[in-house]
Structure 1
């Protein structure tokens, strides 16, 4: 295969960023210097005066330059500790470092909060002139966005206090979820022996082509999450309680105000998207019914929806998956393929199937090193290949914006998930085109429709659950039994009552509900899925038009 990565490694290289992992002297020095510089930035903010005209713009240029330098360094540190805590949930030193980084980030946010009233105090004509002044013109959009949001926030001293309290409150609850999930072990029977699997390892078994295996693993999966449900319900209630209290103080009466602002979407756009999804979801019902017949059941259970059809489904080696993904990227964009080869050859990817890792997958960027790191657990399943393509899509997105000013590199999650689902689509389309038999083609089409079911039904269920949960949380704590009921009700509605069983403890097992950096991290996936398909169709249409035009220009063509 053209462009096949040679000898890709299944564990990432963090030493290229900061050698020594959580004991890295280089990182400890980096973090100490960052703490000092963030404190100095705060003092500079406090001393800033509202500019009276262009002759006073110099200090503001210098401040914004210093701010961008600090933002880049905080993101570098945050990405590093995120990788450390993901690769080994028992690394206590990494958790301590994570706490220090969060404290630095809170100090930066407090300084930014004190800057906000000064931005608001600048008269509009002076503000427009300031944003038109190089080099500030390059960051006019994020500065304007910050000034607009400042009007909707608390006074700076209260915002700073909220940021400070969140480190050992709001964010600490999120880190506690990681600890609980990281220490969980799920007993699974294998060849007469009991194996104790980590959460990501058990999650891979839920993709088994054997229905009895899926049934057995899912039963143990539900039991494991049910055992932890009281603690996880407390965590979820406290996370939501913090948000609701802060929103109430700010006068934000819609729980979606912040996630919509972060995603640069209007409520009308979001409502229109869900209305379209609800209307079109009926088109997935024939697929689910047909899959039921192929699986030999009356209706699919929860663990059947993403299951492969073939009993002896292809198992992928990591190098094989790397080569395949790179080849499909190459067929669409040499730039995407170049980035993939760089990721594999540079050991950007942590994919080893071992205990002690956190669940899920992610891609994080190191803006100073100009590299990314991808985290997942690869067990040779087709879904793992899709995850690999998905996260490489994020890495490609990072590479596209890395030359922009730091403040301009902050894109919303709705756009981030467009890039990742687009990369998934490129690989899926390539696999279907290369199918060597009808059976392989059917299996690949099933994967494609299964992905559509995830993005249009599963994600909608998450949104319905979270909306209902926050509505009830406003009245007080929500019990485990009620969380289960809300979750199952949301799943039944989203899946149009087409399944024979559901996953009531999904609220406990899904990390996304506990991410403190991204409230309502559900609808961006559906937005990205739909938008990426539109972009892909347009790209293919344009490519076909260009090819046809070139053919028409050939000599002798009429």
Structure 2
């Protein structure tokens, strides 16, 4: 592949940035349309009946259009704020998007209230015919969830207050992180790095570099811990107050509803994982021995075993991904090639970028954009494959009604982790020497550690934090203790140095739109592993079934999806055990090769 531009292209979405005339006009028109729609909903005094089918359909279609427009603008602003966290105009646009989001939420609350008022017979008649038939799962879900909420006036009040009393804390977090400068000594010279750049050093081949980066990051997070603790406490406090008003007894009610999964499924998944952790701990101990350590430290978990591994080029990574996507499904390969060549990916390694990676979608343009920071590591290759999986998933849904494209986060992680597996297994198979095989096995098992141990630590921390937050504000010292305890438990005490300020460093704890932004990753990893096992068993014919499964992720519950396409019951341990059995084969092979 020819040299690829690592900076994404946004001008085909809106030209000129956050303050450009086209984008300002777009936001003005959207604000007016949302206001008009809200007035229309409020004017409706009588419940809809089957005789109102035309008006009801028009109302739903108008709502669908507003959702598409809002998410188009929201995705654009997300890209602008991520590519330059110090972009003040983008930050202002983000504030406006949040205000528009609150207004759209208010309209959604009125709409849900109207759906709730319709009799069962009339509701069934309205949604089971015509253009709404394909949206009926989404409409039924909205109606059922509305019954768990307060009246529309109260929900509108919550949405309105959330702009400055809830979402603003997330904005503050990003602003604080954007201003942080990580100072460390490397190769005898003092460097000033962004958080993202310093994080990339945590898998450097040189342990002194990893340790210096970790210590510098830990020091920076500790220095500002009181501010991060305030943000985290207030985000949780707002949620708890809203849940109490609605009569929701568990703080897991919202994330479970959002992920369309049963509590029993989540409980079964974690309990099965716990049974396999001693096996994964064997890998951790062997890796420590190979690094001449008694135990791994937090900053050793992702350390490369091959210190002389060459840096990967962006072009080589792109070619590798396209080639091996094609071995499973040519459609995936052609899509990845299109995304790379059309500059849908922001990968430049530069200062002032937001940490982490994501994929966001533009529903009107029918395009996606991927954000990451590429520094030539195997981990970067996995990240790119992961995010391209997200984008491919969305591409399969673009022709569906927009309300039927709203898939939950847990199944959203299916395509991304499946894509990672394709690339990871291909890298392992391409290994020519014993040392290369060991390296690739280590990379794969480090991903297992991240998704089965690190994510579990986040879940344990957040669960216990919310329990304590119900009683009052949780101090920095207590947050550090809760985090350290969760890490020791989740990692089966395999480390000698933990990361007590991880609660401050992990932006997922501060995302206000999705509570408990953790367990869906583990679910998606194991769910995709189970699918991958079936794909290997069935061969090329499975590609069509895989695409159909992804296309239906916005139209079924998690359990229904698994039953229809895989024939499994997720509330029982068998499926989870089969996925983990497959993953643990890598531990056995790693231990055998490193005897």
Greater Cα offset, 486-495 or 311-320: 311-320
1:224 paired with 2:190, answer no
Structure 1 residue 331: deviation in Å? 1.2
Please show how residues 86-105 of structure 1 align to structure 2 within 5 Å.
86-105=82-101
Counterpart selection for 1:431 from 422, 427, 434 = 427
Within 2, Cα distance between the matches of 1:274 and 1:51? Answer: 44
Structure 1 residue 23: deviation in Å? 2.6
Structure 1 residue 20: deviation in Å? 0.7
Residues 519-554 of structure 1, C-alpha deviations (whole Å, 9 max, x = no match): 0000000000000001011011001899xxxxxxxx
Within 1, Cα distance between the matches of 2:226 and 2:512? Answer: 20
Counterpart selection for 1:125 from 121, 127, 139 = 121
Runs of 5+ unmatched residues, structure 1 = 547-558
1:403 paired with 2:399, answer yes
Within 1, Cα distance between the matches of 2:99 and 2:389? Answer: 30
Within 2, Cα distance between the matches of 1:13 and 1:52? Answer: 45
Please show how residues 85-484 of structure 1 align to structure 2 within 5 Å.
85-484=81-480
TM-score (norm 2): 0.90
Which residue is 1:30 aligned to?
A: 26
RMSD (Å) for aligned C-alpha atoms: 1.2
Residues 198-217 of structure 1, C-alpha deviations (whole Å, 9 max, x = no match): 00000001110111111111
Give SS of 2:279's match. helix
Give SS of 2:368's match. strand
Within 2, Cα distance between the matches of 1:437 and 1:191? Answer: 31
Structure 1 residue 491: deviation in Å? 0.3
Within 2, Cα distance between the matches of 1:328 and 1:545? Answer: 16
Give SS of 1:206's match. helix
Within 2, Cα distance between the matches of 1:21 and 1:436? Answer: 47
Counterpart selection for 1:59 from 55, 58, 63 = 55
Residues 69-89 of structure 1, C-alpha deviations (whole Å, 9 max, x = no match): 000000000000000111111
Structure 1 residue 191: deviation in Å? 2.4
Judge conservation of contact 1:109–1:160 (CA < 8 Å) in 2: yes
Structure 1 residue 50: deviation in Å? 4.1
Within 2, Cα distance between the matches of 1:52 and 1:319? Answer: 56
Which residue is 1:555 aligned to?
A: none
Give SS of 1:279's match. helix
Which residue is 1:551 aligned to?
A: none
Within 2, Cα distance between the matches of 1:53 and 1:378? Answer: 55
Structure 1 residue 52: deviation in Å? 5.9
Give SS of 2:203's match. coil
Judge conservation of contact 2:328–2:540 (CA < 8 Å) in 1: no
Which residue is 2:545 aligned to?
A: none
Structure 1 residue 184: deviation in Å? 0.7
Residues 160-200 of structure 1, C-alpha deviations (whole Å, 9 max, x = no match): 01101111120010011000111111112122211100000
Within 2, Cα distance between the matches of 1:100 and 1:315? Answer: 41
Change (3 A) 1:499 1:18: same
Judge conservation of contact 2:487–2:498 (CA < 8 Å) in 1: yes
Runs of 5+ unmatched residues, structure 2 = 543-595
Which residue is 1:74 aligned to?
A: 70
Judge conservation of contact 1:37–1:70 (CA < 8 Å) in 2: yes
